[in-house]
Amino acid sequence: MTCSIFSKYKIGNLTLDNRIVMAPMTRGFADNETGEVNYLIADYYGKRARYGAGLIITEGVAINKLAKGTYGIPGIYTHRQILSWKKVTREVHQYKTKIFAQLWHVGRVSHQEILKGNAPVAPSPIGANGHVHRLRKPFQAPRALNNMEIYQIIADYKDAAKNAMEAGFDGVEIHAAHGYLIDQFINEKTNDRQDEFGGSLQNRLRFLDLIIKEVKKVVPKNRISIRISEKKDDDKDYVWEHPEEMVCAITGILSKHQLKIVHPSAENYGDMLQHNQKSLHELFRQYWDKTLIAVGNIAPEKGASIIGGNQADLVAFGQLFIANPDLVVRLKANQEIFPYQTKNLHTCLI
């Protein structure tokens, strides 16, 4: 039976009104000192819910005070931050939309000016290429985490997930993509550790494995999404040498923990992997028979065919949701979809 992008979708006891997802996008409008969000953020997400988004995944939310990589990043590690997020979840839930908090630690792609004098941390003291967003200074060489610190960060992910549920979120997404901290452990170019967190692929995936193990103690397994990517924001030329081995290993961990949602992130949906004859989403579909979210600069008219062709279960739109708060309504009515234009979005909070 062919499914519609507008049909309801169940993930265990979680029911989405449709299969259209608002993708996570860094906004940077939280209070820079406190990491709290305000009514503008509640209105921003609330508008997308009002017009029918099935699921909203928030911008990356810092799990601790050293997790952020630029100004204005919200947190979920203090009581006041939890209270501030309750405004957002209440606003979204009045329209029956579901919302996940994306848990984030940027690791090495930060700077001591962002971290109040603290050096960025990473699995190994290997610097990133590029510049800190908004600060416009080169990334600093990070300090390598010791084992005690690694286990503390794992505990911080669990605490952040618990706090997210207290704040009223329906679930969480663990951001393990795009060259941020979890991805830095997975990536052989950024992890040259010689302990149980480095070396073999199995060891490099151990950090993610242990984070999932802890997070699922406080969040139901069907309400945990994992975001994965091949591409890295600070290394545009990076590719997986053995994509099938990587995807098989990652999905093996997710299956072991009985998770239900994976969110592979591609720059452009459908692009072939350099060392495989499949796209990122095709390869995940080969090894993953549970909920798969498609994302990657997807054209409005393409979403329906992705769902109808069983290429994915949910379709996420990013910039189109910024330009069109009523994107779902426009898709359903076959109305014009406005393109994303940064020059016309002075605040992005529309």
How many other CB atoms are there within 10 angstroms of residue 151's CB atom?
14
Which residues have a Cβ under 8 Å from the Cβ of 328 and sit 6 or more positions away?
6, 18, 20, 51, 52, 53, 54
Q: In degrees rounded to 5, what are phi and psi of residue 316? A: -105, 135
Straight-line distance from the first to the last Cα atom of the chain, in angstroms, rounded to the nearest whole number: 38
| Helices and strands per DSSP (H, E), number in the chain | 11, 12
Among residues 9, 44, 51, 180, the one annotated as catalytic is: 180
Query: Are the C-beta atoms of 114 and 90 separated by less than 8 Å?
Result: no
Burial class (CB within 10 angstroms; exposed 0-12, middle 13-18, buried 19+) of 221: middle
Query: Is 143:181 a contact under the CB 8 Å cutoff?
Result: no
Tokens of 266: 């591609």
Amino acid identity, residue 333? A
Q: Active site includes 71? A: no
Please, are residues 310 and 299 in contact by the beta-carbon 8 Å criterion? no
DSSP of 162-173: HHHHHTT-SEEE
Q: What angle do CA 192, 195, 197 make, to 5 degrees?
A: 75
Structure tokens at 307: 């769902």
Task: State the catalytic residues.
Answer: 180
